[in-house]
Every structure is written in C-alpha cells, then in structure tokens.
Amino acid sequence: MADDGPVISEVVTVRTFGELESVGPVHLPCSVEGMAPAEFWFRLFILPPQARYTAMGLGMPETVEGEGPLVRISSACVWSHIFGSLHCDCGAQLEMAKAEIAREGAGLLIYCHDQHGKGIGLRNHFLVYAEGQRRGHELVVDAYEQLGFKEDYRSYDDVARILGHLRIGRCRLLTNNPARVRALESSGIAVTRVPLVVKMTPLNESELRVKKARLGHLIETLEDSEGATRQGTGSEIEVGAKCGQPIREARHA
C-alpha cells in the first residue's frame, strides 16, 4: 500500500484563505498566574514567505460586545519566554495578559514567532546584545544604533489580517506601545488601549526606562503614578490606571 502520509482533514485542521493558512484548533490546559489552570485554544497561522503566528484564545472573543475582547500581541523573546530572563518584561507581560484574559473568560493572545528583537531576527538579536555587552553599552538601543539597525522593524499587517479572519473588528489591546495601537487602527480595527503594568525591578529597570524614554512606551511606573497626570507630548492619560482597566489618550479622541 502506498504511503500517502497522514490524512489531514481539510475541513477541521487546515484551512487556506488566500495566502493565510490556519491550522487548528488545539485545546490545551494552561497555567494562569494566581488562578486555576484554564483551557485555551490554539491556532497556528502561517503567512508567506514564512511568518508564523500562534493565536492563543479563550472562549469566543469575536462575540465580546462593547469595545471588544482583550487582545495581546506578543513578540517572541526566547530569553524571557523560554529561559526566564529577567532583563526584560516580556515574560511578565505574557503571564499578565493570560491572567487578564482568563479573568474575563474570553480574549486572544497572538504570539509573533518571527519578531525577535523588534523584528531584527533571532541571530541579530543575539548579535546586538553580545556586541553591545562587549562594547559596554549600558542601553541596548545604543547597540542597535551603532550596529546600524533601526529601533523597530515590526509590521502588524499580518496581525490585522489574523484578527480580521477571526472576525475581531474592535478590541481592547493590552499594550504600553502606542505604535501597536496606531498600526491596528490604520488597518481599520477600533482599538482601546489597556495598559500592562509590570512591576519595575532592579533587573528590568534599564529596559523599562529605555522603552519609556527612547521608544515612546506609555509605562506608568510606581514612582510617577502618584501625582502625574500627563506624559509625553500632549497625550492625556489617566495615570494610575491599573492593568486591565482601559485608559484613554487624547490623540485617539
């Protein structure tokens, strides 16, 4: 008998919509910080030439009314997500996003496997850090600059396509990065930003300060959440909003 390989149901497991391939769903019980485990569904999306995204969802996000479901976009960070590096806040943000989604009982996390180091790729991410540390750069953005890399190469066009495929036209985006908000809005998705406030520690402090001061991230840290009401250039922020509560910025009004 000829071996034709495994039989894949085109109806259930693999669907191709134009150039977007969707594989799944797979259901897996997952740990959730501070809560009982929850069963999330997973769906792998592949877009040419070789961009891979895992959607991790709970419930039916597309049915959430009002401002839409909680959505988190997570760029791959091998050091933090796999090996537990405490240098950045990627791992803590992933866990917080999972917990927020679990608390609501519905939501979506899209993991961008090929967006290491703000889109420079895994090899270059290693290269930038290794060379930056060798040269004694205190800030990794200085290493990016000196090695000729832009600060950010990421595009969110694929993510917008995936959200469209999942019938999500509006969402409450868990992010401190205004560029992500703008990118999804320019793709026609209505976005309400929800901050992800990670506790500053001596180990992640320099990374968080770089994100805030050099990359424009809106990070309401403990020290400036007490009395501050304004941050950046004219963006009104309800500083002091805690993770999970939407905050509004004047420029989205």
Using the structure block, give the residue that is written with the tokens 């497991």.
Answer: 13
Residue 140 touching Zn ion (CB under 5 A): no
Least distance in Å: CB of 226 to Zn ion?
A: 28
Q: Which of 15, 114, 142, 152 is catalytic?
A: 152
Cα distances (Å, whole numbers) of residue 176 to 66, 75, 106, 156, 231 = 21, 13, 21, 15, 13
CA distance 208 to 217: 9
Nearer to Zn ion, 77 or 239 (CB): 77
Least distance in Å: CB of 75 to Zn ion?
A: 8
HSE-up of 210 (CA within 13 Å, CB side)? 16
Q: Which of 43, 72, 154, 180 is catalytic?
A: 154
Tell me, by CB under 5 A, how many residues bind Zn ion: 4
CA distance 114 to 77: 10
Nearer to Zn ion, 13 or 133 (CB): 133
Least distance in Å: CB of 77 to Zn ion?
A: 3
154 is catalytic: yes
Q: Which residues contact 156 (CB under 8 A, 6 or more apart)?
A: 73, 180, 183, 184, 187
Cα distances (Å, whole numbers) of residue 104 to 13, 31, 129, 222 = 27, 15, 37, 25
Nearer to Zn ion, 77 or 168 (CB): 77
Site for Zn ion in 48-107 (CB under 5 A): 77, 80, 88, 90
Catalytic residues: 152, 154
List interacting residues with Zn ion (CB under 5 A): 77, 80, 88, 90
